[in-house]
Amino acid sequence: MLSGLDHLVVTVTDMGRAVDFYSRVLGLDVRYRDAQRVDLMLGDTALRLHQTDTDIEPISATPTPGSLDLCLRCQLPLDEFQQHLEALDIEVELGPVARQGANGAIESVYLRDPDGNLLEICRPAPR
């Protein structure tokens, strides 16, 4: 019936700050849809940013910055990704730690975006 995820909306307090973080820190490509919507591309899926003070309809019942808990797959080895974060002075909250992902064992590091959303960055666990 369903085949995948097209986009996920992330509610943010400051569009510019969020775009900077997701593009500079996580390397996501930015596509400006209009003055109120920005897509951050993950392959053929998007994180769509909506700022709290816009009047986009329809929206979730309680759009709240900082309420997202999201796991993203990383192409780099986690130690290289952590070096990248360190060079940008981005704090790793936890990790690397062993976890269970959608398709098997993963290793993850956790950090937060400027709105406090929890971001888990993962790689398949070594065999």
Cis status, amide bond into 77, omega within 30 of 0:
no
Q: Is 71 helix (H, G, I), strand (E, B) or coil?
A: strand
Q: Which helix (H) or strand (E) holds 62?
A: none
Cα–Cα nearest to 73, from 47, 107, 25: 107
Phi first, then psi, for residue 90 (nearest 5°) are -100, 125
Q: Say whether 120 is catalytic.
A: yes
Active-site entry in 57, 80, 107, 120: 120
Positions marked active-site:
120
